[in-house]
Structure 1
C-alpha cells in the first residue's frame, strides 16, 4: 500500500488538491485556493476532478476534487478520483476543510487506498509518491486514518486472493495463505483440516472430490485477551477456488470468472484479521470450506445423495449448486463445536439476485431484524449496498425430496430457496444472516472506490459491523 500521512505543513512544491462541495467554506482552503475554485464552477459532484495546470508557477498543478454533499460516501468517491488522477511518482497535498469530521477523513483515506489498488501480480510497479492530508489539527484524525488503513488492508487482501488465477489458487494454497497471514499475531489461532479429518464433511468432500487438489477446511479464530466473556460471531465464507460447474458444466461465458467463487471466504478471512489488528473486543471465528469444483471420474453426480456433518442428507440434481453443500457442513460444524451467538454467511452463491438488485447490491436474508439492521447500517457506511429479501415459508415445499432430508438444488426462485436451504443448518442459532454477494464481488471496470476486477465485497461491511459491537454477552 502507498503512503498517506497527516501533516500541518503546506508545501507548494507538491500537487495541490482542493476539495470542492456543497457549502464548503472558501476560507478553509486559503485565499489562493479559494480564488482557484471560484473560476471553475460545476466541479462539486462527488468523484469529479478538474485539473488546473499552472506552468512556471507553484504549485505547478492543482486538482479540484468534488466531494458532493461532503458525507462519508462523497469523500470516499473524492479520494478514489484523486488517486486515479495522480501519476505513480507524484506527491499530492489535499487541503482539508477545518470542519472535516473524523468519519469524512476515514472516507477520504479509504477512497484513496481503495481507488489506488493494484493486483500484486500485475506488471505495473507500485506507487512511489504519496498523499499528504493537510490540516491544522492532524492528531485529531489519527484514529480515523488507522481505521481506514486497517479496512483498506483487509480489502486489498480480499481482492488479491480473489484476483489470483486458478492456476495458482487451489484449496491447499488458500489454506497456506491463511496460516501465513495469521502467523505471529497474538490472539489468532488457525486450524486446517484435510484428508481423513474431513470424514464428516460430506458436502465438502463431494464437491472437491474430482480435483487434483483435495479440499481443506480452515478455522481462523480471534479471541480478545482483555474480555472475560466476549460475544462470539462466526463468519462463514464460501471458498470454491474455481467452479467449473462439475458434471453440470457451466457454459464458457459463465466459467471464466469463476476464480471469484471464493470471494466470501476471502472477505471473512480479511475481516477476522482486521478484528485482530484493531483489537476488537469481540470473539470472531472465520470458517472457510475450501474446494475446487472440478470435472473428473470422482466428480459427484446429479442425483447423488450427500450426507452432511450432522448426518442429515441432501439430494442434488445440479452439481453447479455446490456452494450450499460446502456451507452446510461449515454451519453444522459451527453449531456443533463453537456455540456462536451470531452467524453470518458470505457467499457468491447465485447470480439470480443480480437481475433484481444489479451489480453493486447484495441480497440479505435474516430472520433477525436487529442483526439485519446492523448489517444494513454497516454496509451503508462502508459503501457496500445490500437489500433485505424475505424467507417465505411456503417456498420450503420446493426443498422436499423423496429420497433425502432435503433437495439442495430445486429449479425455482434460486436465491430465496438457497437461503432457505442454508437455514436448515443453523441449528439453534436464532441470530443469523446470509449475504448472497455474487454480483457485487466483481467489477467490470473502475467504479468509484472499486477497481476493475475483484472488489473484496463484504470485508468493509463486516469490519464496520464488528467494530460497532460492544463485545460483552
Structure 2
C-alpha cells in the first residue's frame, strides 16, 4: 500500500501538486519558491483551470529536481473534493517515484482524510498474473505538506486503517472462486483477526450448522463439494454502550443452482460475497480504529452449485428458528442464507441495531443504476444515519419503501413464504422477505442491496476496475457516528 507521510516542508519529490479552487490557485501553508508560484499562477491563467474537484493540469519542468508541477482542482475544498483530488493525483503521478501535495493553512483534518483515502483507494491493484508490458505504477511515497503536521496525524491514521480494510474487502471479492471456497474465506478471516487484539471468532462447519438448525445455509450449500460455513466475528470493547450486528451475504460462487444462470450471468459471480467481505472488513476496521462500539459480524458462506445434492425448485427450507421458505427459484439463494443469519442475530444476539449488506438483486441496478445501493428500513433514524454515513464516505444510497401489501407477492401454499415474488419489484420483495426474519429487531433493522455498486468496469474517482469494497467505508463512518453520539469518539 502507498506510504503517506506528513511534513512541514515540500521536500524534494519528483512531482509537486498544488490545489486550485474555482477562484484560482489556493495559497498553501508551507514555503514555496518564487519560481514555482509564478509558474503555477501562469499555468492556471493560461489553461483556464476550472478548479473542479479532480481536474489535473500538468506543467513539465525539465532539468529541475521537481520535474513536474500538478495543479489539482479541489472544488469547494470539502472532504469529498479532497478525495477526488487524491484519486486524480494518484493517476496523474502514478509513474513518478514520489509526490508532494501542499495544503492550504485553513485545511481541516477531514481534508487530509479525504486526500489520503483518494490516493490510497485509487492506488489499489489486484493481479495474480505477470505484470503487463510497460510495468505498473511506480509511485510508492507521498508527502502531504502542511503547517503543524501533528494536527493531522489522527486523520491520516484513520484513512490508512479504512483503506487497509477496504483493500481486504476488494481482495476477497476479486479472488477467483476456484480458490475462494467457504472454508478458504473463513480461514482468511481467521488470519486477519489474529493480527488484531480483542476479536473473537467462531466458524460453524456443516455438522454444527445442521445441529443448530441453519437450514437455509445448508440448503444453498448442499450442491457443492465444498461445504458451507457461518463465520461469526466479534469486536467487544470495554465500555461499549451499543451492540451492532452486521450480516453479509457470502455466496462464494453462484451458478444459480438448478435454476442455472447463463454463461454471461456467471462470469462475475465470484463477487456474490461482496456483502460478507464488507461486513467482515468493517468489523476488522472497528477493531483497528478501537471504536467503542460492540460489533458482531455474521457471514453465511455457501457455494451455490448444480449437482445431485443441490436444493430444488419446490423444496421447502426450514430456517434457524423454524420459519419455512418454499424455494421457487434456486438463483434467489442469497436471501435464503441471509434469513438464517438474521434469525440467529435477532434471537440470540440481542442487537441494538441490525444491518445486512447483500449483492442481492439485479433489480437494484434497474432501479438505481451502477453506483447507488438500495436502502430499506422501517426506522427513519437508522435510515437517516446510514444515508448520512454513506454520503460522508463517498458511497451512494437511496431509500426505497417496504410496502406491507407487497408481502402477498411472496405468498406460498405450503410454507410461510416463497423465496421470490410474483409481480416484479424484485429488490423490494427481497427486502420484505428478509424483514420477516429480523423478528423482534425488525424496528431497528436495515437492509442494503448493493449488488450494482459492488463492482465497476473501469476506473472512476477512488474506484478501480473490479471489486469496489462498497459498504466498508459507509459502515465505518456509521460506527464512528454511533461512538460520537455516545460521547465515546
| Alignment TM class, shorter chain as reference | over 0.9
TM norm structure 1: 0.96
Q: 2:208 is matched with which residue: 179, 197, 206?
A: 197
Deviation, structure 1 residue 462: 0.2
Q: 1:155 is matched with which residue: 150, 159, 166?
A: 166
Q: 1:42 is matched with which residue: 37, 45, 49?
A: 49
CA distance in 1, matches of 2:139, 2:111: 25
CA distance in 1, matches of 2:107, 2:431: 41
Q: 1:328 is matched with which residue: 309, 327, 339?
A: 339
SS, match of residue 28 in structure 1: coil
Deviation, structure 1 residue 254: 1.3
Q: Are 2:440 and 1:428 aligned?
A: yes
Structure-2 residue corresponding to 1:20: 20
Q: 1:415 is matched with which residue: 413, 424, 427?
A: 427
Q: Are 2:366 and 1:355 aligned?
A: yes
Structure-2 residue corresponding to 1:272: 283
Q: 1:119 is matched with which residue: 120, 126, 130?
A: 126
Structure-2 residue corresponding to 1:239: 250
Q: How does 1:8-157 map to 2 (within 5 A)?
A: 8-23=8-23, 26-28=26-28, 30=32, 31-39=34-42, 40=44, 41-88=48-95, 90-119=97-126, 121=128, 123-124=130-131, 127=138, 129-157=140-168
CA distance in 1, matches of 2:422, 2:270: 24
CA distance in 1, matches of 2:201, 2:437: 23
CA distance in 1, matches of 2:37, 2:486: 49
Deviation, structure 1 residue 255: 1.0
Q: 2:264 is matched with which residue: 248, 253, 258?
A: 253
The answer to which of 163-172 and 12-21 deviates more is 12-21
CA distance in 2, matches of 1:13, 1:334: 51
| CA-based RMSD | 1.6
SS, match of residue 428 in structure 2: helix
Q: Which runs of 5+ in 1 are unaligned?
A: none
Deviation, structure 1 residue 162: 0.2
Deviation, structure 1 residue 247: 0.6
Structure-2 residue corresponding to 1:222: 235
CA distance in 1, matches of 2:129, 2:201: 29
Preserved CA contact (<8 Å) 2:230 2:299? yes
Deviation, structure 1 residue 28: 2.3
Structure-1 residue corresponding to 2:320: 309
SS, match of residue 76 in structure 2: coil
SS, match of residue 428 in structure 1: helix
CA distance in 2, matches of 1:416, 1:98: 48
Flag the 1:33–1:380 CA change in 2: closer, same or farther, 3 A. Answer: farther
Q: Which runs of 5+ in 2 are unaligned?
A: none
TM norm structure 2: 0.93
Question: Would you say how many aligned residue pairs link Structure 1 and Structure 2?
Answer: 471
Deviation, structure 1 residue 342: 0.5
Cα deviation code 1:234-271 (max 9, x no counterpart): 00000000000001111111110110000000000000
